[in-house]
Amino acid sequence: MTAAPVLLVLQGEPPEPLVAGLSEAGVQFRRVSAQEAIRVSTSAHLAVCARVPAWQAVIARVYLGGGAAVIWGPPVAPLESRGLLPPHLEAVEDPAQLIGALRRAKERSLAAGNPQQLSEKLLERVESAERISRFAQSIATRIDLPDTIQEAIRRTRELCDSDGASLLLVDPASGDLFLDTVSGPQSQNMQSFRLRPGQGIAGKVAQQATSCLVLDARQDPDFDPRGDAATGLSIGSIIAVPLLQAGDVLGVLEAVRAARRRPFDPEELRRLEDLAPHVTIAVHNAQTNARLREFQLQLVSANSDLERKVHERTKQIRNATVEWERTFDAIEEPIALQEGFVIRRANIAYAKEVGLLITDVPGQTCHKIMAGLDSPCQGCPLPAGRVGELRGEFTMKSQSRLLLSGFWMSPHSTDNRVVVHYRDVTKQRSLEERLRESERLAALGQLASGAAHEINNPLGFLTSNLQNLNYCLEELRMTSSLATKALELLRADRSLEALKALEEIQYLEGESAANDGLDMINESLEGARRVGDIVRGLRELSRQEIARGEPCCVNASVTRVVRTEFGEQPPNVTLDLQAKIRAEIQPLQMDQVLGHILRNARQAIAGDQKVAVRTWNTDTEVIIQIKDEGCGIPPENLRRIFEPFFTTRGVGKGIGLGLTAAYGIIKRNGGWIDVQSAPGHGTTVTVKLPGAKPQEAAHQRTSAVALPL
Amino acid sequence: MPRPPFHRILVVDDEDYVRNAIRRSLRKEGYELFFACEPSEGLTVLRENKIDLVISDHLMPNMTGLEFLKIVHDRHPDCMRIMLTGHADMQTAIDAINQGEIYRFLTKPWDDTELKVTIHLAFEQLELMRENRRLMTAVRRQYDLIKSLEREYPGIGKLVRDADGAISLDRDTRPSTPETH
């Protein structure tokens, strides 16, 4: 250790352990600023230098003065230890190692030779650093990639005093190295030169990302002689460094020297290594710039493309608008697009329907211009929202009937736009009405003709009998007058004449006439009764009103009618009454229906054949089933059982209106009747009727329990 | 025209009281009356008796009056047919006249007098037709007789007149008469 105190160049106060460590070793020390350290360190000093500003200058100065230094702080990065700094610059953080480090630094400094030599070396390096800085600046100011590369190559040749230089870039897609620009004689031949990763000197450098110095290329197995032949040079020595950009190899910078000259030395490699980061940044910048310009060009072209497309689309949309407008106007039925009740668009037929100009329609409300109302039409489906389908039929201002159907624009309930389409059904409705009318008339005609036949038959023998009665009476009158005459003759004692008169009476057969007359009267009365029955049946048939009243307890009705038709406690009728709800039908009508069906059943059975009546219910219906084991109905008659005046019973025994009336009553009450039958297999009649509201069920149940059967 | 006794009438109607009424109306008219309550029974009566007139209803079980009268027309063409129905629609009447070739179409309710007159007129026509047929038969028989005489005695049927127009009975002139051939 020299007598001179150790210089401490620190940021702020020296840390306590450091001071303690130095004092313990008995080392003299002095705290100085960076400027002071540069000034005083002309003679060999030892220095401990933290990374204050200009720390590199302080250390360079200390070494120039023949001293040595260690860094106080974290280890020095390899890059930092280049340039002006001496090799093997040590950094310590532990005060315990500081003394040893200082000793080692001093020993190395002494071994490095005299300060004069070191100074020249350092000056040379400073010069080189300045050149590198200048070159870097010159390279960095280029914008174009070829320009930048050209400049980098030119400067590389200048810096390394080489006969040729090249910059190979890595193709990011394949990893191949390729020449973007070559400098040197015959460089044109090298344009298509490509190296795979690991191929040749440059390939190896790129693959391993480390610098390389080849003293004689011709003796190196990695050397690719293609480059040799192409450049026209006889290559001797090569130096190559990777261009590292954030850990990736961007390319390889290479300098070659002809075989006839001396090979490169490590110092020249170091210079190239120093230049490489600057080249990397410049190339990267240029590449980025080029890419950016490319993007810009693409952007401009895309922009104009877009503009053209927008123009085209606008034209298409305008065309489509016209096409659709024309299409809708060509439809002869009114169509409108509405937002709720407010019309947004409409076709010409719509304007014509409401008698407005097409331009006046938008903004109006549909009920105002269509129906002439200030508020929405009654039964309008629009206010109901999206419940059910949009359909309705309305009478318009023009008295025409329009059938409306609407379609929502979108499935979202917040969008209340709706397309409304109207169809004029005035003619159709009036045709339908006329058809219904003529159907009614036809049915009436059929009924009248049937009725006429049924009435004319009894009327026929009625009138005939009345005429014949006339003769009978005449005969009886004559008998009576002859008898009177005979009596008078007898009184006058003219018995011969009286006998003659009495003989005449015998000839008149008064007694048989009287008997005949009685028969005729009885038959006529029967005929008149039948006409009455028919008229009553017709009246029942034509009763159209649906009598709404107390719903009917079908079980009670069945019990009642069975008693009427079959008598008390009938042995051949079984009842199974399970209906728990009432049916929507008047009890009197229910009795009529059951009467007609049960009467048929009674007349169908013979001997010990049975009739079974069941009732039950579903949630909404009451079902009554009457099943007999009787003779059954042949298919050709089954088709006609509901026809008015159709009967299979003998003349005068049934008028054929019973099932017709029952059918009418059931249909009017919203019910359904079905008859299943085959000859010899009995007949099953099923009647379904709508059930009454459930709240009346409790009442029904109690009354059902109270039945006598 | 003298009416032969006991013209036979068949009444076909499914209603007892109608048959009774007709029986009473026609009882004193001097006809022999037959009754059937349906067409098939009527056909049996027709087969077993020589019926002159059928009075039939239209709507009856198993067969309509029209169908029945058509059968009567085919099997017993010499029998008059009258329809008596309460089902008086136009089509039935037209079909009865065109297809059943009936003599009259009467409707219920009927007038007894009209019925009697109609029956009487029907029999008059029937008698005329029968007379006609009988006369036609006589004419044909006589014509056949003349033909056979002519074959036996050629020229016997020819009348020969002389120039004065008088009938010539001279047998010798006969072969030279051109009219004989």
Band (pLDDT 50/70/90 cuts) for residue A310 is: very high
pLDDT of residue A639: 82
Nearest CA in chain B to A459: B109
Give the pair of three-digit tokens for residue B181.
């051939």
CA distance A231 to A184: 7
pLDDT one-digit tens code per residue, A139-193: 888 888 888 888 888 888 888 888 888 888 888 888 888 876 555 555 555 556 7
**Residues on chain A touching B21 (C-beta within 8 angstroms):** 460-461, 464-465, 468, 520, 523
Q: What's the confidence (pLDDT) of residue A309?
A: 94
Report, in angstroms and rounded to the nearest whole number, the Rg of chain B calculated over CA atoms.
25
> CATH code for A335-424?
3.30.450.20
Q: Does A232 lie at the interface with B, CB-CB under 8 angstroms?
A: no
- Which three-class secondary structure state does DSSP give residue A289? helix
Q: Residue A523 pLDDT more than 50?
A: yes
Give tens-digit pLDDT for B73-104.
Answer: 999 988 999 999 887 778 888 888 888 889 99
Supply angle C-alpha B39, B44, B50, rounded to 5: 110
A652 touches chain B (CB under 8 A): yes
Average pLDDT for residues A610-637, to the nearest whole number? Answer: 89
Could you name the CATH architecture of A554-706? 2-Layer Sandwich (3.30)
- The pLDDT-based confidence of B1 (bands split at 50, 70, 90) is very low
From its phi and psi, is residue A412 left (phi > 0), alpha (psi between -120 and 50) or beta?
beta
Q: Which residues contact A587 (CB under 8 A, 6 or more apart)?
A: A550, A552, A553, A556, A557
Tell me the β-bridge partners of A574: A612
**B153 inside 8 A of chain A by CB:** no
Q: Give the whole-angstrom CA distance, residue A69 versus residue A86.
A: 10
SS3 assignment, position A543: coil
H/E/C letters for each residue in A190-255? HCCCEECCCCHHHHHHHHHCCCEEECCHHHCCCCCHHHHHHHCCCEEEEEEEEEEECCEEEEEEEE
Cβ count near A590 (within 10 Å):
28
- CATH code assigned to A6-118: 3.40.50
Chain B residues touching A468 at Cβ < 8 A: 21, 24-25, 112
Q: Is the pLDDT of residue A201 over 90?
A: no
Flag if A464 and B86 touch (Cβ within 8 Å): no
DSSP annotation of A443 reads H
Residues of A in contact with B113 (CB under 8 A): 467
Question: Over the stretch A385-420, which tens digit does the pLDDT of each residue have?
Answer: 666 678 888 887 777 888 888 888 888 878 888 888
Give rounded-to-5 percent helix, strand, coil for chain B.
50, 15, 35
Question: Tokens 């006809």 map to which residue?
Answer: B31
What are the residue boundaries of the structural domains of chain A, listed by start?
6-118, 145-293, 335-424, 429-542, 554-706
Distance between A459 CA and the closest CA of chain B, angstroms = 5
Establish whether domains A145-293 and A335-424 are of one fold.
yes
**Rounded CA separation A50/A70 (Å):** 9
Distances (CA, A) of A542 to A266, A517, A656, A703: 128, 37, 15, 33
Could you tell me if A664 lies within 8 Å of chain B, comparing CB atoms? no
Q: Is B150 on the interface with A (CB under 8 A)?
A: no
- ω into residue A551 within 30 of 0, thus cis? no
How large is the average pLDDT for residues A657-663?
A: 84
Distance CA A226, CA A217 (A): 12
CA-nearest residue of chain A to B115?
A464
Band (B181; pLDDT cuts 50, 70, 90): very low
**Protein fold of A145-293:** Beta-Lactamase (3.30.450)
Q: How far apart are CA A320 and CA B82, in angstroms?
A: 81
SS3 A585: coil
pLDDT score recorded for residue B156: 76
Q: Does B91 touch chain A (CB under 8 A)?
A: no
Helix, strand, coil tally for chain A in percent (to 5): 50, 20, 30
Q: Looking at chain A, which residue has its C-alpha nearest residue B58?
A: A453
In this prediction the pTM is 0.45
Share of chain A above pLDDT 70, in %: 88
Token readout for A637 is 């008659």
The closest alpha carbon to A424, from A403, A398, A405, belongs to A403
Tell me the pLDDT band of A698, cut-offs 50, 70 and 90.
very low
